[in-house]
Structure 1
Amino acid sequence: MARLACTVASIDVSDLRADCSRCSGLCCVAPSFTASADFAFDKPAGRPCRHLGADTHCGIHRDLRPRGMPGCAVFDCFGAGQRLTQVTFAGRDWRDGPEVAEPMFAVFPVLRQLHEMLWYMTEAAARPEAAALHAEVGRTRAQTAALAAGSARELEALDVHWYRREVGELLGRVSEAVRSGWPGPQHRGDLVGADLRGADLRGAALRGAYLIQADLRGADLRDADLLGADLRGADLRSADLRGSLFLTQPQLDAASGDATTGLTEGDGAAAPTLLRPGHWIRTDATGLRLRVHPEPSSG
């Protein structure tokens, strides 16, 4: 990986979780969206959503899915929103005028991608199978944290797409190390609506796969690489996702599951923890207690 000149910075796993109470509603203003299965209406970039309140909280947050806004329900900024508001712009927000709004909206997607990469590298550093790469992962994670700590001007100047490709190459080697013990298939293409019930997908390469509406009930996905896989509407009931690589909370939030879906329990400090989404079936016949992903306080 090419080395960038930057100051070493640290970041905790807790910093990679959205805290809407410390943000300024950036996800409700900065992005554009189009009327579709994910959104009930069109919204241009930089215009506040019609449901955004004066307190920068979403007025229909608890009813996003029934109100035709599942795309908002699954969006996650990986903590970029509160960092941009509280740190990069020192408490100022887009309502203070175009001189703040324009650069804030421009760098929001850049910082979000950096935080997402930090999430992946935090997981990579916790995988013992990739111990030979831990030093390189640590250096790259520190470099990425330093970039995330940059000024708005520095963030806007960063070629984040190039940088993501560089980080992706390292994550690919981590994936190969973790999956080396499995004869997992290569499934990186179109699996929309695929019937994969009970499939042995241990160690499978599913990076970027289209698994929209796929039936994965009872599938074994241990150590499968799910980086960037589209799980919208996928049925994960009874699927075993323990140890799945680079799985994120937004992917789980976009899918369906239940109490029998196996999830990795990270320690919440050094390794990311995935929580069972609140819209999943909350109990099974045995009354299994669930760890439910809480709804954010605002949207």
Structure 2
Amino acid sequence: MTTRTRVTLGRREDLGADCANCFGLCCVALAFTRSVDFPVDKDAGDPCANLDPTDGCTIHPRLRSEGFRGCTVFDCSGAGQKVSRHTFAGRSWRDDTATRDAMFAVFPVVRRLHELLRYLDQAITLAHDPRAAAPLTERFDRVRALSDADPDTLLAADVDAEYDAARPLLLDASREARARDARTRDAHTRDAHTRNAGAQHTGSVRAPTSDDRRVGRLRVGPGADLLGADLRRADLRGASLRGALLIGADLTGADLRRCECIGADLRDADLSGADLRGAVYLTQMQVNAARGDARTRLDDGFQRPSHWAA
């Protein structure tokens, strides 16, 4: 079992995919459409033609060359093994029609809950003191308990409401952490200026007042349209790319440390040589969708996609 996202605090489980303990749910339960990501159409509930009887993929090493790029991007956040081994206690969708229908309906629900757990888990680590972490921990425990529930409870769950309740907590945690880092950087800059100038520097430490900023003529901020943008070597430390459109953007050599990435569309963005250490709410699926190379810097726990340049 992979340990790439395991949290060792005793009450949280691995939120990364463990295909060896899943019944190939993403290969059956989900639909896909003929496109740049898939060479054929497949209805939800129909097994992929490449799924073997033991729930393995017969073309796994050749997925991208065979046109199944979407499979190499997808990440279930651990929902596959959760539904297979916990929710349905090891019963396979192959066993009977009732199990099949219920399992396929539950899988996307648990996947969304696990994605939310990943966001909440990072927000807890961003909190600067136990009081700030407490509401996040309470929300995490609530969502975790819901993800552990029986199929009927999961199907009746209002997952959108869970996200709505968590969203302000997530954004506050990100904003505070990024502002704290900005103050630290400004303090270091001030100290360096004082040392270099040999004089007392009396300016105040500047904190960001908005999530929007300018990089050349580009607006960088929540929801920004940065389709194909030239952001080579841009200093985006602490920026908010929440919901930004970055398809095909050139981010080679960019500094994205502590950049908020929740909802950012990084499909085919070039992250070669970029620094994403500490990126806030960055997911494995976003990393998988982008391009990168051996110089791209990621936090421990992320898998470097096999299609990235050596």
1:238 aligns to what?
273
1:53 aligns to what?
52
Q: Report if the CA contact (8 A) 1:192-1:214 is conserved.
A: yes
> If you compute each CA radius of gyration, which structure gives the higher value, 1 or 2?
2
- Offset, 1:11: 2.1
Please list the CA deviations of residues 92-134 of structure 1 after superposition, one character each: whole Å capped at 9, or x if unmatched: 1111122011111111111001111111111112225476521
Distance 1:130 1:280, change over 3 A: farther
Could you say what secondary structure the match of 2:291 adopts? Answer: coil
Could you say what secondary structure the match of 1:36 adopts? Answer: coil
Question: 2:33 aligned with 1:34, yes or no?
Answer: yes
Give distance in 2, aligned partners of 1:104 and 1:81: 10
CA RMSD between the two structures: 1.6
Could you say what secondary structure the match of 1:96 adopts? Answer: coil
Q: Report if the CA contact (8 A) 1:124-1:130 is conserved.
A: no
Give distance in 1, aligned partners of 2:292 and 2:128: 28
1:155 aligns to what?
154
Segment drifting more, 122-131 vs 111-120 = 122-131
- Offset, 1:87: 0.9
1:276 aligns to what?
304
Give distance in 2, aligned partners of 1:191 and 1:239: 17
Q: Tell me which amino acid in the other structure corresponds to 2:12.
A: I
Q: Report if the CA contact (8 A) 1:10-1:146 is conserved.
A: no
Structure 1 outlier segments of 4+, above 6 Å: none
Please list the CA deviations of residues 257-299 of structure 1 after superposition, one character each: whole Å capped at 9, or x if unmatched: 112212123xxxxxxx2232222223xxxxxxxxxxxxxxxxx
Question: 2:298 aligned with 1:263, yes or no?
Answer: yes
Structure 2 residue runs of 5 or longer lacking an equivalent are: 1-9, 183-207, 214-220
- Offset, 1:46: 0.7
1:293 aligns to what?
none
Give distance in 2, aligned partners of 1:24 and 1:111: 15
Could you say what secondary structure the match of 2:111 adopts? Answer: helix
Q: Report if the CA contact (8 A) 2:127-2:173 is conserved.
A: no
Give distance in 1, aligned partners of 2:178 and 2:298: 18
Q: Tell me which amino acid in the other structure corresponds to 1:279.
A: H
1:72 aligns to what?
71
Within 5 Å, which residues of 2 pair with 1:157-176?
157-176=156-175
Q: Tell me which amino acid in the other structure corresponds to 1:218.
A: G
Could you say what secondary structure the match of 2:76 adopts? Answer: coil
Residues matched between the structures, number = 265
Could you say what secondary structure the match of 1:277 adopts? Answer: coil
Q: Report if the CA contact (8 A) 1:130-1:177 is conserved.
A: no
Question: 2:61 aligned with 1:62, yes or no?
Answer: yes
Could you say what secondary structure the match of 2:67 adopts? Answer: coil
Give distance in 1, aligned partners of 2:153 and 2:244: 33
Segment drifting more, 193-202 vs 24-33 = 193-202
Q: Report if the CA contact (8 A) 2:27-2:48 is conserved.
A: yes
Q: Report if the CA contact (8 A) 1:130-1:174 is conserved.
A: no
Give the TM-score normalised by the residue count of structure 2.
Answer: 0.82
Could you say what secondary structure the match of 1:76 adopts? Answer: coil
Q: Report if the CA contact (8 A) 1:187-1:204 is conserved.
A: no
Within 5 Å, which residues of 2 pair with 1:149-228?
149-181=148-180, 182=182, 183=208, 185=213, 186-228=221-263
Distance 1:60 1:150, change over 3 A: same
Give distance in 2, aligned partners of 1:147 and 1:128: 23
- Offset, 1:62: 1.1
Give distance in 2, aligned partners of 1:103 and 1:167: 27
- Bigger RCO (CA 8 Å, 6+ sep): 1
Could you say what secondary structure the match of 2:248 adopts? Answer: coil
1:295 aligns to what?
none
